[in-house]
Amino acid sequence: MSPILLTQNKEALLALPLGVTLTFTVHFHDNSGDTFHSHNSVLSLATNRDDFVQIGKGATNNTFVVRTVNVGLTLLRVWDAEHSGIADYVPLPVQHAIFPELPDVVLGDVLCLSSSLTTQEGEWPW
């Protein structure tokens, strides 16, 4: 996944932030975990929900672009259409990353928001 999203204590997030666009890259591994550096595959994808994430093909055959649009859990299935036994399932939980959630805001309100997201260097990204 790119970019890598971290919290202030350098831990991975438990869910994808709402409104983020990410690139997922697919790698193939053998039974011992070694990466195949050359392979012939045609990747396909499907989700069990269309309303939490939007997914499309990336710039290359082994990448997908994911945009989170609603809070919830989507299950992503990625498989090789030419090799029936090669498939993987990836849960994509989506949650708010900026708190608190403010349903009613009017012009002139002072907002105090927080987020646990940081850059890889530990800095606030915005």
How do residues 11-21 score in pLDDT, each as one tens digit?
A: 777 899 999 99
Is CATH 2.60.40.1080 the classification given to domain 5-115? yes
> Which tens digit of pLDDT belongs to each residue from 75-122?
999 998 887 778 899 999 999 888 887 778 889 988 888 887 876 665
3-state secondary structure the chain: CECCCEECCCCECCCEECCCEEEEECCCECCCCCECCCCCCCEEEEECCCCCEEEEECCCCCEEEEEECCCEEEEEEEEECCCCCCEEEEEEEEECCEECCCCCCCCCCCCCCEECEECCCCCCCC
**For residue 126, is pLDDT > 60?**
no
Indicate the domain borders of the chain. Answer: 5-115
> Which tens digit of pLDDT belongs to each residue from 21-52?
999 998 888 889 888 877 777 888 999 998 99
pLDDT of residue 123: 60
